[in-house]
Amino acid sequence: MDSVKVARMGPWRLRLGERRGVLLIGDFIVALLSLVIALYLWGTSERFLGWSLEFLEKRPPAWYYALPFIWLILMVELYDMHRASNWRETYRLIAMAALIGLVLYMIFYFASQPRSLPRRGVATFLIAVSLLTLGWRYLYIRIFTAPQFMRRVLLVGGGKAGVTLLKVIRDLHPPPFHLVGIIDDDPDKLGSTIEGYQVIGGGDCIIEVIGRESISDVIVAISGEMRGGLFQALLDAQECGVEIMRMPKVYEELLNRVPIRVLETDWILRSFVDEARASRFYEVGKRLVDILGGLIGTLVFVSLFPFMALAILIDDGRPIFYAQIRFGRGAQPYRIYKYRTMRRDAEADGMPQWAREDDIRATRVGRFLRKTHLDELPQFLNVLRGEMGLVGPRAERPELVGMFQKHVPFYRARLLVKPGITGWAQVNFGYASSIDETITKLEYDLYYIKHRNLLLDFIILLRTPATILGFRGR
Residue 277 DSSP code: P
Q: What is the pTM of this model?
A: 0.85
- Cα–Cα dist 431/423, whole Å: 12
Domain with CATH 3.40.50.720 in the chain: 151-255
State which H helix or E strand residue 107 sits in.
Answer: helix 87-111
- Cα–Cα dist 462/427, whole Å: 10
CATH of domain 151-255: 3.40.50.720
- Cα–Cα dist 427/147, whole Å: 31
Amino acid at 88: R
Per residue of the chain (474 residues), what is the pLDDT tens digit? Answer: 444 543 444 446 778 888 899 999 999 999 999 999 999 888 887 766 666 777 787 788 888 899 999 999 999 989 988 889 889 999 999 998 998 888 888 887 776 666 666 778 888 999 999 999 999 999 999 988 888 888 899 999 888 899 999 999 998 888 888 999 999 888 888 889 999 999 998 888 889 999 888 898 999 998 777 777 888 888 888 888 899 999 999 999 999 999 988 876 666 666 666 555 667 888 899 999 999 999 999 999 999 999 999 999 998 888 899 888 999 998 899 999 999 888 766 565 556 666 666 667 778 888 888 888 888 999 999 999 999 999 999 998 888 888 888 888 888 888 889 999 999 999 998 777 788 889 999 999 999 998 899 999 999 998 888 776 654 555
Residues in CB range of 279: below 8 A, 6 or more apart: none
- For the range 380-384, what are the long-range contacts, defined as Cβ-Cβ under 8 Å and sequence gap of 24 or more? 380/293, 380/294, 380/297, 380/298, 380/300, 380/301, 380/421, 381/294, 381/298, 381/301, 381/337, 382/334, 382/336, 382/337, 383/290, 383/291, 383/293, 383/294, 383/297, 383/421, 384/291, 384/294, 384/295, 384/298
- Cα–Cα dist 213/242, whole Å: 12
- Cα–Cα dist 98/102, whole Å: 6
Q: How many CA atoms lie within 13 A of 116 on its CB side?
A: 10
Q: Closest Cα partner for 199 from 170, 209, 207?
A: 209
